[in-house]
Amino acid sequence: MKDVSIGQYYPANSVIHRLDPRLKLVLCIMYIVMIFFIQTFTGYALTAVFILALVFISRVPLLKVLRSLKAIIFLVLFTVILTVLFFRGNPEDLLWSAWIIRIYKAALINAGKMALRIILLVLGPTVLTLTTTPVELTDALERLLKPLSYIKIPVHELAIIMSIALRLIPTLVEETDKIISAQKARGADFESGNLFKRAKAMLPVLIPLFVSSFRRADELAYAMDSRCYRGAKGRTRMKIMRLTFKDFAAFLVMAAFFFCILLLRYNWFNIGFIAEIIARGF
Amino acid sequence: MPIIIKDLNYVYSPKSPYEKQALKNINLTIEDGDYFGIIGHTGSGKSTLISHLNALTRIQSGSITVDGIDLKPKKLDYKKLRSTVGMVFQYPEYQLFDETVEKDVAFGPKNIKVPEDEIKERVKQAIEMVGLNYEKFKDRSPFELSGGQKRRVALAGVLAMRPKILVLDEPTAGLDPRGKREILELIDSVKSRLCHTVIMISHNMDEIARSCNKIGVMSDGELKCVLPPKELFSRRDLLRELNIKMPIITEFANMLADRGLDVDRGIVSEDELVDAIVKAKSAVGGTQE
């Protein structure tokens, strides 16, 4: 139970860590959008090199990054298998068939692209969360969504709810551990019986957990109140986020890369031949 | 039968960067009838040690026998073990969950399959043993009680399982001085009536000195020594080395001794100190006359 971590922040001293979190969030969104413009293996390969370079610069161990792929391994497999099984292409493309299963060459290529797309898609946000603390992220989100507060959306309140929730996750995990131990010591059995029985056995854990969560929420509210917390109005920040030169540089790099991907895709200025050359090189 | 711990080691998150050896070669025997105190600073391994005693933490290496039950095998009769060793955690009131005090106290006995008619009897006895009026409290919700009462109910929940060995992790934490004294007196009476052996973790040296007949000192995962309170608290060098405070009474006795009064430096109880002062004073008076 102790290993549960929602924020997977990996502390290190790198340029990527020091970038403005707002910018990182924007870049991450750009990256995700960009992935959907890629259609060739060349594009995927370039993007893979790009993201690996980012990981390298961020000084996060590669293994740590790849670990996040564990969560989507089933999704990838599922997608690949379904694509391969249900794809119906040209009869002349047929590679292998038996019973109702027909496997086409185009299906394999499609499945490969799909898998690459999902994997690359996940890697972007992974790098973001590994190099940005959850608090920075919520702050960044709050700043970026600030325009919405003009149409009466309580952006600040939502952000503070989110940061409090993030803050309390480890505390609750610890508390759950303690209560489970205490009830086990009273002979509670969480391991045997059918699903229904087990769900019922969790009741003596959940009720104390709810009770203490309410108590904690109450106490926190008092503590905030006694320090004159009044919501967003007139509230200043201790850490003011400022864009610096390195943020502009990072943005330029990302924009340039995006541009290259677009060039490859749409053959602007008729330089798609470069892509051809690269593709042959592979 | 005694609790015998041999060569116990425990490592948290082995083979990871967070690896930490929480227990190092613990050898300890706790005899029947002992009131065993465990002291040590936060993170010294006290809680890890006691959670081994009813197999909430399983043995990694070494061996433990509790009341004749070997805790080593993978398959254990947990119900029997947990009704033998009653464990009261820090702030036990946070584990209360049921609608009424009676139902909550009955949770333990029910789990260990005590027959229905005996449960009622046990619950009544346990609630009265912790100094609450059964008729008055049985139908109340545990959540509407005061802090001290909640703790008593939680304690009753463990006592209703009729354990032979009672293990307490800081039973008086967060109570006012009077509540602390009441809980300690309660544990004394439980010890004489139900649980012959009591093991208590505490940060409060006065409590430990007052209650226990043996004290184990933990530091950095090691069991540094096991001594009776009088001996432990009279050894100033050891206390300094292990960074342990003296009970207030002992400190007072030491200050008197430093000023030249003839009192024993290992005194741990008020009564003894008063006697010693009277004796020393009359001896001084005697020579003056």
The tens digit of pLDDT for each residue in B60-81 reads: 999 999 988 888 888 888 888 9
Percent of chain B, pLDDT > 70?
97
Higher pLDDT, A205 or A162: A205
Average pLDDT over residues A140-148: 85
Give me the pLDDT at residue A155, please.
Answer: 84
Spatial distance between the Cα atoms of B14 and B18, rounded to a whole number of angstroms:
8
pLDDT of residue B266: 82
Q: What is the pLDDT of residue A269?
A: 66
Q: pLDDT over 90 for what percent of chain A?
A: 12
pLDDT the model gives residue B150: 92
A270 φψ region: left (φ > 0), alpha (ψ -120 to 50), beta (else): left
What is the DSSP-derived secondary structure letter of residue B91? S
Q: Which residue of A has its CA nearest to B157?
A: A186
Q: Is B141 on the interface with A (CB under 8 A)?
A: no
H-helix segments, chain A = 15-18, 21-35, 41-58, 62-67, 73-86, 105-131, 134-144, 155-185, 195-201, 203-226, 245-266, 272-281
Which carries the bigger pLDDT value, residue B114 or residue A135?
Answer: B114
- Identify which has the larger pLDDT, B106 or A270: B106
| pLDDT in the model for residue A223 | 93
Tell me the per-residue pLDDT of B232-277, one tens digit each, with 9 for 90 and over. Answer: 988 888 888 888 888 888 888 888 988 888 888 888 888 888 988 8
- The ipTM value here is 0.86
Give the residue, A205 or A134, on which the prediction is more confident: A205
Q: How close is the nearest chain B Cα to the Cα of A277, in Å? A: 46
In angstroms, rounded to a whole number, what is the distance separating the alpha carbons of residues A264 and A257?
Answer: 11
Residue of A nearest to B85 (CA): A185
- Is the distance from CB of A44 to CB of A116 less than 8 angstroms? yes
User: Is residue A2 classed as helix, strand or coil in its secondary structure?
Assistant: coil
pLDDT higher for A192 or A223?
A223
Contact A162, B87 (CB under 8 A): no
CB B7 within 8 A of CB B61: yes
Contact indicator for A119, A76 with CB cutoff of 8 Å: yes
Contact B161, B109 (CB under 8 A): yes
Report whether pLDDT(B87) > 90. Answer: yes
What are the tokens at A67?
């670990």
CA atoms within 13 A on the CB side of A37: 18
- What's the pLDDT score for residue B216? 93
Mean pLDDT of chain A: 82
How high is the pLDDT of residue A4?
40
Contact B95 A182 (CB under 8 A): yes
Specify the length of chain B in residues.
Answer: 289
Give the pLDDT of residue B289: 43
**Confidence band of A73 (pLDDT split at 50, 70, 90):** confident
CB pair distance less than 8 Å for B51 and A181: yes
Instruction: Measure the CA angle with vertex A169, ends A168 and A173; round to 5°.
Output: 115
CB contacts < 8 A (A, B): 60
- Per domain, the residue ranges of chain A are 1-132+244-282, 135-241
Residue A272: band (very low, low, confident or very high) from pLDDT cuts 50, 70, 90: low
**Which CATH topology does B3-245 take?**
Rossmann fold (3.40.50)
Which whole number is the average pLDDT over A175-203?
A: 86
Q: B110-166: per-residue pLDDT in tens? A: 998 889 889 999 999 999 999 999 999 989 999 999 888 999 999 999 999 999 999
In three-state secondary structure terms, B100 is coil
Per the model's pLDDT, the better-predicted residue between A194 and B252 turns out to be B252
Asked if the C-beta of B53 comes within 8 angstroms of chain A's C-beta atoms, the answer is no
Question: Crossing angle for the helix pair B177-193 and B116-129, nearest 10 degrees?
Answer: 130
> Contact B2/B66 with Cβ under 8 angstroms?
no
Return the DSSP state at A228.
T
CA distance A79 to A122: 15
Coil, strand or helix: which one is B197? strand
pLDDT bin (cut points 50, 70, 90) of residue B169 is very high
Yes or no: say if B55 and B81 are a contact pair by the CB < 8 Å rule: yes
B95 has a chain A CB within 8 A of its CB: yes
The least confident of A195-199, B130-134, B282-286 is B282-286
The mean-pLDDT minimum among A3-7, B113-117, B176-180 falls in A3-7
Please, which pLDDT band fits residue A2 given cuts at 50, 70 and 90?
A: very low
Higher pLDDT, A170 or A118: A118
The string of pLDDT tens digits covering residues B8-27 is: 999 987 776 678 889 999 99
Q: Which long-range contacts (CB under 8 A, 24 or more apart) does B243-248 make?
A: B243/B41, B244/B39, B244/B205, B244/B217, B245/B205, B246/B205, B247/B205, B247/B206, B247/B208, B247/B209, B247/B210, B248/B206
Mean pLDDT over each residue of chain B, to the nearest integer: 89
Q: How far apart are the C-alpha atoms of A40 and B141, rounded to whole Å?
A: 66
- Joined together, the tokens standing for residue A14 give 């790198």
Interface of A with B (CB under 8 A): 2, 175, 178-179, 181-189, 203-204, 207-208, 211-212
For residue B284, give both structure tokens.
């001084």
Residue by residue, DSSP assigns A63-97 as HHHHHGGGGGHHHHHHHHHHHHHH----GGGEEEE
Residue of B nearest to A181 (CA): B56
Closest residue on chain B to A202 (Cα): B97
Residue of A186, A188, A212 with shortest CB distance to B94: A212
CB contact under 8 A, B107 and A188: yes
Q: What DSSP line would sit under B3-65, residue for residue?
A: EEEEEEEEEESTTSTT-EEEEEEEEEEE-TT-EEEEE--TTSSHHHHHHHTTTSS--SEEEEE
Give the residue from chain B lying closest to A180, CA to CA: B95
CATH 3.40.50.300 occupies which residues in chain B? 3-245
Q: Above pLDDT 70, what percent of chain A?
A: 89
**Chain A touched by B174 (CB under 8 Å):** no
